[in-house]
Amino acid sequence: MTKLKISKTIAGKTAVKAFLAVALLAGPAAVLAGDVSAAGVKATAAPVMTDNLAKFGLKKAMDLPVTLESEGLSYTLHKIMIYDFKSPEVKKLQKMYGFQNSTGSIDSPKYLIWTKITLANNTNKTMHGGGSDIQRLIPLTFKDGQITDTIWPRKYASKTNSKEALWTYNLKPGEKITSYLAYVYAGEFDYFAIRMLYGKNFVEKYVASE
Q: What is the pLDDT of residue 125?
A: 97
**What's the confidence (pLDDT) of residue 128?**
96
Summarize pLDDT for 39-74 with one digit per residue, the tens.
Answer: 444 566 777 899 999 999 999 999 999 999 999 999
* pLDDT reported for residue 42: 55
Provide the pLDDT for residue 47.
Answer: 74
> What pLDDT is recorded for position 201?
87
Q: Look at residue 44 in the predicted model and tell me its pLDDT.
A: 64
CA 199 to CA 127: how far, in whole Å? Answer: 13
Among candidate residues 65, 169, 168, the one with its CA nearest the CA of residue 117: 65
Q: What confidence score (pLDDT) does residue 210 get? A: 86
Q: Kindly give the parts of the chain with pLDDT less than 70.
A: 1-44
pLDDT, residue 24, reads: 37
Q: What predicted TM-score, i.e. pTM, was given to this entire model?
A: 0.78
**Residue 6, pLDDT score:** 40
Q: Are 33 and 41 in contact (CB under 8 A)?
A: yes
What is the reported pLDDT for 88?
A: 97
Would you state the pLDDT for residue 43? Answer: 60
Q: Of 203, 119, 105, which Cα lies nearest the Cα of 167?
A: 119
Query: What value, to the nearest 5°, has the Cα angle with vertex 138 and ends 132 and 144?
Result: 100
Peptide bond into 65 cis (omega under 30): yes
